Amino acid sequence: MAEDMLMLNISNQESTDSHFSEKKHTKSSSRQKWTAKKTANGKRKASFGNQDYGSAKQRKLDAKINTKHEDQAASTFPSKPKTSPKKGQEEHKGHDRPFIKTSSLFRNNPEIPDVLSPAVSQVKEKVFTGSSFQELDLHPHLVATLNKVLNISSMTSVQKQTIPVLMSGKDAVVRSQTGSGKTLAYGIPLIQSLQAVQPKIKRSDGPLAVVIVPTRELAQQSFQIFQKLLKPFTWIVPGVLMGGEKRKAEKARLRKGINVLISTPGRLVDHIKNTLSIAFSAVRWLVLDEADRTLDLGFEKDLTVILNALNAAGSTRQTVLLSATLTEGLSRLTSISMNDPVYIQVSDVTDESVDTSKPSLSSQSPPSQQADSYAVPDRLQQYMVVVPSKLRLVCLAAFILAKCKFERDQKLIVFISSCEAVEFLVTLLSTVLCGKSSTANKQQLSINFLRLHGNMEQEERTEVFQEFSQSKTGVLLCTDVAARGLDLPQVTWIVQFNPPTSAAEYVHRVGRTARIGAQGNGLLFLTPSETAYVDVLANHNISLREMKMEDILSTLMQDERFRGRGNWDRKKSAGAREQDMRERATVLQTDFENCVHGSVESVQAAKKALQSFVRAYTAYPSALKHIFHIRHLHLGHAAKSFGLRDAPQGLSSAVTDSTANGKAKKKAKGKDNKRPAIKLTARERVASLIRSEYTSGIDGESKSKKKRKKKKANAEDELTEG
Ligand SMILES: Nc1ncnc2c1ncn2[C@@H]1O[C@H](COP(=O)(O)OP(=O)(O)OP(=O)(O)O)[C@@H](O)[C@H]1O
């Protein structure tokens, strides 16, 4: 009887099923926990607890729910044959899966439009030159260090162009593609000049060089490079300051003396304001790496404080700005106390007749030619895939399986728009794909899932950064905190699961692969309503090839863990193959949903992740709002991509219960008093979600805790940090 009622309700419409089924699942799996545990070696590992979430009985119930619900309408999925198994096929011996109908996941999706990436003449840069460092007038110990410690002998194009300019004492604005060796392009002349200072530099001289970088990981990485370069020049001391570290310890190091100071902007400002022992009178070099990011809105203020402090100290200095995407706001960049800078742009030098030893543009004028065109590495293969929202999660999972289970030595970085979504997806993907939550018939699969985002403790961030750097395989899910400057070896794929907020950020994200002449690949996920983003990239001479969603999903045919009950003879027809693929995608989605709905905690985590995704969606700049607008989001479908069976219902009522949504209250008036089934339009729900993210009280937090959280979220803008 109860089950009949359940089926009656779910057959009404998509949005009602989750309410009931969620209850059922929560009850049946109340032992599960969405927790992060410390393992024996001290590392945090996400888990759902240690028991099956899907008993055979439970799965049968799920299937019934799905079946009843899914019979409603024909799929709008393009070119799908309507094939369903005959009655006899429903009982598949030796298999505990109930018969899976695939129409829910593949139904009511928007059409996938044909996407034509406009033809562009991609800007190319030649990475290497045949010139060796010996040609430059460098200290022999520095050349030996490059050869022996860094294993480097010939210069890259950007180094060949930049080092002589900086050695001549000039300021420079340097633009060259990602992974082309910009760090050494400024690092080598900087060390060359400091080692020659007479009398020899002493620790007590304080900073002679200040290097500003946007993120903590990049600060650590740059610091390590300076440590190596300075091996023969032991009297010059490098040091790093960055948010997340203990201020007291940093103060003590500053007091002892740091000659090459590498810092994130926020933390340096902090010390300028609070540490008496920081003196800039000896500063001769100022380097702004990833200069366009460091000068982005919000951090301009910090930079002004830093520049004022340097100027007040009265020292004359050389200033260097570097990035792969120095275009907009260039005049603002150069006007920040640069002295007649030389503009260096390693532009199209695939033409052998171009002399790469000379700056490609007039030394007096900023780059205007190709100013809007970004160079991307020559051996980078760029793809995009159009995936309807509902299918995004299974498609990402299938792609990860394709690379990590069925190919060898693959190392992936997956960019996601918010910390909460990273945190949630890393747990969900590792639990379901690695079979940690599996029923007995599923084998375990070992994929090393890691995460990196700004809400993590610094100690753990450092640990993850190092672990992923050193590993040959694995999947790093991260926010844009890892988009710039990081030199993580052997990354084979960059997946942009959420599109970046600008073409420049696209270039930096994708630039974490195909570095220094290596081969690499990028895959950008777009929904059908986001395909105009391809034109935005084309405006910057970036061209992508299309990968078909079906080709990604077809990986699931190789994975028997996701086989449904249908006994498809795949050799027979394309239709049977497609039906099999859909069935498996549905099984996988069902596994995700069961996993999420297995505990109250995991549902809350999914909701939080969904909210943060929606919030991030509102953060696209106005120039991109015609593509990324919350109006285009289908919340129910987006919810599926977080393993939720529906857009959070509780949330809307929580919103309407509070004063946040007067409109909704009005609608609710006069309806069922006991359980106000408030129906909001999709738009209202999105608006409620955004408004209620920190105020809805869904997690019952105290006001002050929420306030603190909000403050943290604001400070943690994932792009630049203190
Ligand atoms: N001359 C060289 N020969 C061989 N490898 C080099 C050379 N110069 C630098 N590299 C290596 O190339 C890699 C990329 O260098 P680097 O991180 O400086 O690139 P980048 O241009 O700053 O990239 P991004 O724009 O992403 O910050 C590093 O591993 C570095 O050690």
- Of 255, 268, 181, nearest to 485 by C-alpha is 181
**pLDDT number for residue 114:** 84
**Does the beta carbon of 156 sit less than 6 angstroms from any atom of ligand 1?**
yes
Ligand 1 pocket residue status of 155, Cβ below 6 Å: yes
Check pocket membership of 597 for ligand 1, CB cut-off 6 A: no
Q: Is the peptide bond before 199 cis (omega within 30 degrees of 0)?
A: yes
Q: Tell me if 692 CB under 6 Å of ligand 1.
A: no
Which of 487, 490, 505, 510 is the pocket-test mutation for ligand 1 (most atoms within 8 Å of CB)? 487
Distance 208 CA to ligand 1 centre (A): 24
| pLDDT at residue 671 in the model | 40
Centre of ligand 1 from the C-alpha of residue 179, in Å: 5
d(CA 181, ligand 1 centre) in Å: 3
Beta strand residue intervals within 280-326, DSSP E: 285-289, 318-323
DSSP 118: P
Question: Which residue from 711, 606, 615, 614 is spatially nearest to 650, judged by alpha carbons?
Answer: 606
Residue 225 CA, ligand 1 centroid: distance in Å = 10
515 lines ligand 1 (CB under 6 A): yes
**Ligand 1, atom 22: closest residue by C-alpha:** 182
User: Who's near 705: CB < 8 A, 6+ residues apart?
Assistant: none
User: What is the pLDDT at residue 541?
Assistant: 92
591 Cβ below 6 A of ligand 1? no
Please answer whether residues 522 and 499 qualify as being in contact, where contact means their C-beta atoms are separated by less than 8 angstroms: no
Give the tokens for residue 561. Answer: 């863990």
Q: For tokens 């805790």, name the residue.
A: 705
Note whether 431 and 46 are within 8 A (CB).
yes
- What's the gap in Å between 493 CA and the centre of ligand 1? 18
Residue 437: per-residue pLDDT: 57
Q: What is the pLDDT of residue 606?
A: 96
Amino acid type, 342: V
In sequence order, the 6+-apart residues with CB closer than 8 A to the CB of 348 are 123, 124, 125, 354, 370, 375
For ligand 1, atom 30, which residue shows the shortest CA distance? 181
- Among 160, 184, 292, say which to mutate for ligand 1: greatest number of ligand atoms within 8 Å of CB: 184
The amino acid present at 270, given as its one-letter code, is: D
The per-residue pLDDT for 576 is 85
CA distance 258 to 278: 9
Residue 64 alpha carbon to ligand 1 centre in Å: 56
CB of 416 within 6 A of ligand 1: the answer is: no
Q: What is the pLDDT of residue 244?
A: 84
Q: Give the number of other Cβ atoms within 10 Å of residue 272's Cβ.
A: 17
Q: Indicate the SS3 state at residue 43.
A: coil
Give the HSE-up count for residue 338: Cα atoms under 13 Å, Cβ half-sphere. 22
In sequence order, what are the residues at sequence separation of 6 or more whose Cβ sits closer than 8 angstroms to the Cβ of residue 380? 510, 513, 514, 519, 520, 521, 522
Residue 591 makes CB contacts below 8 A (sequence gap 6+) with 54, 432, 437, 562
pTM: 0.79
* Any ligand 1 atom below 6 A from CB of 181: yes
Residue 446: what pLDDT? 87
Phi, psi of 161 (to 5 degrees): -85, -35
- Torsion sign over Cα 110, 112, 118, 124: positive
Residue 190 CA to ligand 1 centre (angstroms): 16
Q: Whose CA is nearest to atom 3 of ligand 1?
A: 152
Q: How far is the CA of 448 from the centre of ligand 1 (A)?
A: 26
Which residue ranges of the chain lie beneath pLDDT 50?
Answer: 1-33, 35-95, 348-364, 368-369, 439-441, 651-680, 682-683, 685-720
Q: Tell me the backbone φ, ψ of residue 36, rounded to 5 degrees.
A: -115, 115
Q: β-strands 545-547, 520-526: how paired?
A: unpaired
3-state secondary structure of 315: coil
Element (H, E) at 44: strand 44-47
DSSP string covering 54-88, please? --HHHHHHHHHHHHHHHTSS---STT-------GG
CA distances from 109 to 77, 528, 550, 630 (A): 6, 9, 14, 17
User: Ligand 1 centroid vs 426 CA: distance in angstroms?
Assistant: 29
Kindly state if the Cβ of 431 falls inside 6 Å of ligand 1: no
Task: Tell me how far the alpha carbon of residue 224 lies from the centroid of ligand 1, in angstroms.
Answer: 13
Structure token digits, residue 20: 């009931």
Distance CA 287, CA 440 (A): 57
Quote the CA–CA distance of 192 and 141 in Å, as a whole number: 10
What's the 157 CA to ligand 1 centre distance in angstroms?
A: 11
Q: Which amino acid is at 478?
A: C
CA distance 612 to 605: 11
Task: Tell me if ipTM is over 0.90.
Answer: yes
Each residue of 564-598: pLDDT tens digit? 766 666 566 788 888 889 999 999 999 999 999 99
Pairing of strands 318-323, 285-289: parallel
Residue nearest to atom 16 of ligand 1 (CA): 181
Distance CA 555, CA 399 (A): 8
How far the first Cα of the chain sits from its last, in Å, is: 59
Q: State if residue 152 touches ligand 1 by the CB under 6 angstroms criterion.
A: yes
d(CA 522, CA 509): 9
User: Which residue's CA is the closest to the ligand 1 atom numbered 15?
Assistant: 181
Six-digit token string for 288: 């702004």
Q: Is 356 in the pocket of ligand 1 (CB under 6 A)?
A: no
What's the sign of the alpha-carbon dihedral 179, 717, 390, 533? negative
Nearest protein CA to atom 9 of ligand 1, as residue: 181
Give the mutation target among 126, 147, 177, 182 for probing the ligand 1 site: most ligand atoms within 8 A of CB.
182
Task: Check pocket membership of 160 for ligand 1, CB cut-off 6 A.
Answer: no
Task: Name the token pair of 531.
Answer: 């395909």
Looking at ligand 1, which atom is closest to the CA of residue 489?
29
Upper half-sphere CA count for residue 340 (Cβ side, 13 Å): 3
Measure 156 CA to ligand 1 centroid, in angstroms.
9
**Which atom of ligand 1 approaches the CA of 225 most closely?**
31
Rg (CA), the chain: 28
